[in-house]
Structure 1
Amino acid sequence: MRKWFAALTALLILCIPALAFGPASETVHGIDVSVYNGHVDFASVAEAGIRMVYIRSSLGFSYVDPTAERNADGARDAGLEFGFYHFCTASTEEEAVRQARFFAETIARYDYALKPVMELSPARELDRTETTDVALAFLSEVQRRTGREPAIYCSASTARDDYDSRLASYSLWVADYGAREPESNDIWETWAGWQYSDRGRVDGVNGNVDLDLFTAEMRSEPAPTQSAGPTATPTAIPTATPTATPTATPTAMPTVCPTMTPTVVPTNTPMPTATATPGEANAYVVQPGDTLTIIAQQFGTTAEELAKRNGIADPSVIYAGQIIYYR
């Protein structure tokens, strides 16, 4: 009897669901876009049920996404709530502050509704404490410059392995594909945004696009000094089910990750005009015609070393727009 009871107890424990890492509030559908998505028809995007859009504004110390202004105008005119994110390549606090200033200056003229977001690529040589120091330097400077509380975008593994609890007060937009819900971590109890696919399809966007669920926690109040501009920001986050793609209801988790073909850069997509990631960043944006050998020669290293550093299985295959880290 005692063995039977112990076995039953163990079975019941296994059947109890783990605490879910869920959204901070009701969710709506969103996408995030950059130069790699080409020309986006935001009127069609809105008709497809999308309510929020994040736009890449900048990268590194001085690179401005050439489609940022067009995307912001299109999202605004379609009545979508939008915001901006910056791809931060800093590996020191000083570099982080400089990039934060550049980000704030780049988006200062826009009347955006969503929190400014940091996407930090953790430097390989930094530990968790040092990476968090860099992140805090960037986030603090963005808040000081914009008057808005910023948010963090990162993968589930970065949230788990590269940051510490000092970032817990910032909203988390987490990327985790192919799961019923994002992987939990020891810092955040809920997520404000979830990028659940990088291979989505939405009317108005050619090819694949990142798909997200966003909560009201991603919304931001404009600073008093923010210049006013025409906007059609909703006064409340809608919770109705979209009548077109994407098919998941805004208040529910997607049950499966879309199974589309891998994302490729369309041949007619405008590419960055800079030949390298600006400033002292440790990253390079691959240009049409580049090879890993050519890039290696520019930065005094080898193709084999770049492949190893960037996890490239086949050194002969790289793509325009891909980010290559060289130190």
Structure 2
Amino acid sequence: MPLRRSGPARRTFPAATGTLLSLSALVLTLALPGTAAAAGGDKEPAHPEQDWMGSTIAAHEGVDRAGGSDAQASSSTSSVDGVDVSSHNGNVGWPALRTSGVRFAYVKATEGTTYKNPYFSQQYRGSYDAGIIHGAYHFALPDHSGGAAQAKYFAAHGGGWSKDGKTLPGALDMEYNPYGATCYGKSDAAMIQWIADFVTTYRAKTGRDAVIYTSTNWWTQCTGNSRKFGKTNPLWVPRYGSSVGTLPAGWPFHTIWQYTSTGPTVGDRNRFNGSFTRLKALANG
């Protein structure tokens, strides 16, 4: 009689092959930067501590060192000095900044739907305690999860607003993708919809229109220079030179200008476009 193969012998190799394939797929997924899946299904950023407001601007658009110095020297009574900080700044010496003339500050709160700034409490509460008007910002990752999901996460983890006269509306940081394609793999229409989902949800959660931080170059490239948000959302524009330059479409003026990334104590320096009374009005809503 011919010999028969036993059942277990026939099942061993396919099962082992399937296991190896599953493990390989898992390793590949975890190895790709910025693509690790979080418990809720959204992707986790690979290096959020390296992503702060303007961290990709200089790399893509350059820095006019001389222009930044000129801008700092040209401060006038019709503007207010401010800073923005994130985890890469660590614990911030707010009293010294207040003494130097800083009157407002934005603190990075979140990125995507998984990251929270570990220094947020010291930076956010510390600025408030030093008598500095403060606000929080969210570093957007449009290819990681939806705009509405990120707005909810932001509002729930530091991005809320209160009518205390010292809290600015939250800001949405839209800039070059630190993990890949400049426009996060989205068409102009898809990017506009993502931003709309974020700002609409944020307003529903807080009652305020989010400030939009973006450069004219990125906005033109990734939204087709959309005019959609100019009448509702204050503009925060980065340009490291002697003037604010051409603004994105739809905004007749800017609200905040990030004019250098090399200031004393805290590098990122900003100027509010108006008097201190108008800054307080923005805080009060």
Deviation at 1:124, TM superposition (A): 3.6
Give the distance between the partners of 1:73 and 1:161, measured in 2 at CA.
Answer: 36
TM-score normalised by L of structure 1: 0.55
Alignment partner for residue 66 of structure 1, among 101, 118, 122?
A: 118
Query: Does structure 1 residue 55 correspond to structure 2 residue 107?
Result: yes
Partner residue, 1:187: 250
* AA aligned opposite 2:154: F
Gaps of 5+ in 2: 1-76, 176-181
CA offset at residue 127 of structure 1?
2.4
Alignment map for 1:247-286 (pairs within 5 Å): none
Change (3 A) 1:35 1:190: same
Of the three residues 178, 188, 192, the one matched with 2:241 is: 178
Q: In the alignment, which of 130, 154, 175 is matched to residue 103 of structure 1?
A: 154
2:108 and 2:120 in contact (8 A); partners too: yes
Cα shift readout 1:128-179 (whole Å, capped 9, x = no counterpart): 2221111110011011011222110112312333331111121100011123
1:214 aligned counterpart, secondary structure? strand
Q: 1:109 to 1:184 in 2, by over 3 A?
A: closer
* Structure 2 counterpart of 1:46, one-letter code: R
CA distance in 2, matches of 1:110, 1:146: 6
Unaligned runs of 5+ in 1: 1-24, 223-327
Which range moves more in the overlay, 62-71 or 208-217?
Answer: 208-217
2:242, 2:159 → 1: CA distance?
A: 36
Which of 217, 231, 237 is 1:157 aligned to? 217
Q: Which has the higher helix share?
A: 2
The aligned counterpart of 1:298 is: none
Q: Deviations over 1:217-259 (max 9, x none)?
A: 682337xxxxxxxxxxxxxxxxxxxxxxxxxxxxxxxxxxxxx
Identity %: 24
| 1:211 aligned onto 2:262 | no
TM-score (norm 2): 0.62
**In 2, Cα distance between the equivalents of 1:127 and 1:118?**
19
Q: Distance in 1 between matches of 2:97 and 2:282?
A: 19
**Alpha-carbon offset, residue 60 of structure 1:** 0.8
Contact 2:155 2:205 in 1 (8 A): yes
Shift of 1:29: 0.4
Q: SS at 1:219's partner residue?
A: helix
Kept after mapping to 1: 8 A contact 2:215/2:248: no
1:118 — aligned with what? 172
- Does structure 2 conserve the Cα–Cα contact (< 8 Å) formed by 1:174 and 1:182? no
* Post-superposition offset of 1:109: 6.7
State the match for 2:134 in structure 1.
Answer: 82
Looking at structure 2, the residues matched to 58 and 39 of structure 1 have their Cα atoms a distance apart, in angstroms, of: 17
* Alignment correspondent of 2:263: 200
| Preserved CA contact (<8 Å) 1:148 1:221 | no
Distance 1:140 1:179 in 2: 34
8 Å CA contact 2:161–2:168 kept in 1: the answer is no
How many pairs are equivalent?
192
Q: Distance in 1 between matches of 2:245 and 2:150?
A: 29
Q: Secondary structure at the match of 2:80?
A: strand
